[in-house]
Structure 1
Amino acid sequence: MKFITTDRLIIRRFTPDDWKDLYEYLSNEKVVFYEPYDVFSEDACKKEAIERAKDEAFWAVCLKNNKVIGNLYLAKQDFDTWELGYVFNEKYHNKGYATESGKAIIDFAFNELKARRIVAMCNPLNSSSWKLLERLNMRREGHLLQNIYFKKDENNRPIWVDTYEYAILFDEWFGNN
């Protein structure tokens, strides 16, 4: 099993047994508010843990006691570009875990996966998300207006939202870190 360690964290592949920890944060409306999905039930988290265990793009972020406190998403795109995403349990916000694990997965992507570029996207209203990307020394490359929707209103019309786009190149990462 692939894993990455930091001073406080283990970043590893999901297992089906991670469903309880996954449920702890994916069932929280505040945590999934900006995500392209609604809150998960226990049964949905059991299925999701199985799916994530099969999907190499998902990484469980764990404390040293193996408690899953969030997840990273790192998926291959075209042109040696990888997309970064993340969701963390609200109980572990503002403790530096997202920054610590983000730096570790970016290092992994550049060093092990030979990424040329890493991109990430977030809703401009999600200041915690874009501030994290800026702590990771990613550069805001664009502000797309009403470019995407994940949910619909009561009349089944799309609720369009904006997107900030961030990126960092291999040379920038090693020049900044």
Structure 2
Amino acid sequence: MITERLKIRKFTNNDLRDLYNLLSDEDVMEFIEAPFSWEKTANFLNSVALIDSPLIYAVEDFNQKFIGYVIFHEYDKDSFELDWILNKGDWGGKDMPMN
């Protein structure tokens, strides 16, 4: 999905470093879980993001810079989960054009 502000796409193996930088950040992970190691990030990428029916999608800004990911999947038979995990530098959307 592409808008003038964001691109939401499937992850690729090339996203490992950006994903690690996101998930190893203590501030980003403060209310989620302990920051990830490189190995845990690689396992997460392979078991959750690169599967045929992904649970998470990479998010890029309008300059094609990785800013985080969105979680979207069926949670149970009556509901879905929708969450955003964003790089600390992108909190607040200060570089995002507002319409």
TM-score bin (small chain): 0.7 to 0.9
Q: How far is 1:25 from its partner?
A: 1.2
Conserved in 2, the CA contact under 8 Å of 1:19 and 1:48?
no
- The 2-side partners of 1:33 and 1:90 are apart by 11
* Structure richer in helix, relative to its length: 1
Per-residue CA distance 1:46-69 (angstroms, 9 max, x = gap): 222222111522011112454321
For normalisation by structure 1, the TM-score amounts to: 0.47
Percentage of identical aligned residues? 28
Aligned to 2:3: 6
State whether structure 2 residue 77 is matched by structure 1 residue 78.
Answer: yes
- The 2-side partners of 1:70 and 1:38 are apart by 17
Conserved in 2, the CA contact under 8 Å of 1:61 and 1:71?
yes
- The 1-side partners of 2:68 and 2:2 are apart by 15
Per-residue CA distance 1:118-154 (angstroms, 9 max, x = gap): xxxxxxxxxxxxxxxxxxxxxxxxxxxxxxxxxxxxx
Select the structure of larger CA radius of gyration. 1
Q: How many residues align?
A: 93
Of 36, 61, 64, the residue aligned with 1:40 is 36
Range moving further from structure 2, 12-21 or 42-51 = 42-51
Q: How far is 1:28 from its partner?
A: 0.7
Aligned to 1:88: 86
Per-residue CA distance 1:13-59 (angstroms, 9 max, x = gap): 11122111111111111101111x21011222222222211152201
State whether structure 2 residue 12 is matched by structure 1 residue 15.
Answer: yes
1:28-67 alignment runs, 5 A limit: 28-35=25-32, 37-51=33-47, 52-54=49-51, 55-67=53-65
* Structural RMSD (CA): 2.1
Which aligned runs of 4 or more in structure 1 are off by greater than 3 angstroms? none
Per-residue CA distance 1:68-97 (angstroms, 9 max, x = gap): 211111111313x32111211101111168
* Structure richer in strand, relative to its length: 1
- The 2-side partners of 1:15 and 1:39 are apart by 21
Unaligned runs of 5+ in 2: none
For normalisation by structure 2, the TM-score amounts to: 0.80
